[in-house]
Amino acid sequence: MARKLVFKLFAVLLVLCFVTPAFAQRGAKAKAKHADKNKDGVVTQREWKIENKWEAKQKSRVNNAVEKRYDADGNGWLEPGETKEMLKDKYRLIQTNGRAKVDTPAEAAYDTNSDGIIDVQEAAGLKQALGE
C-alpha cells in the first residue's frame, strides 16, 4: 500500500517537473519584453538595470533543484536575497570557467542571446545587477 502511495507522489512530482519549466521559459521571454521600456526590440544595459531593480522587489517560485538549493528558509519561494546569492555563485562560476549554463529563469534573464549559456560578456549585466 505504502509503495503505491509513493509511486503516486512520484508521478505528481514528475508532472510538475515537466510543466513548471514551460511556464518559467515563458516568464523569461515576458521579462525581456517587459525590460524593453522604449519597445525598440533591444534591451540596453540601462533597461536591464531598471528591469532588475523592478524584479528585485518581486519574488519567484522555486521551480527546480538549483533554486531549491538557494531557498534558505525553505518556504518554496526565492526572495530577492536568496536569488542574489544564487546569481552571485553563478557569477563566480563564470569568472572561474569563462561561462556557465543557465539553470534558472532568473539567470536566463542575463542570457541575452538565449543560447542557454551565460558567457563573460553577458555576465557584465549580471555583475551590474549584483552591484559588484
> Which one-letter amino acid corresponds to residue 39?
K
117: three-class secondary structure by DSSP: strand
119: three-class secondary structure by DSSP: strand
Binding positions for Ca ion, rule: CB under 5 A: 36, 38, 40, 42, 71, 73, 75, 77, 79, 111, 113, 115, 117
Nearer CB in complex with Ca ion: 15/117:
117
As measured in angstroms, the least distance from the Cβ of 121 to Ca ion is 8
Residues sharing a CB contact under 8 Å with residue 60, sequence separation 6 or more, in sequence order: 67, 77, 78, 83, 105, 106
Nearer CB in complex with Ca ion: 38/45:
38
Nearer CB in complex with Ca ion: 2/42:
42
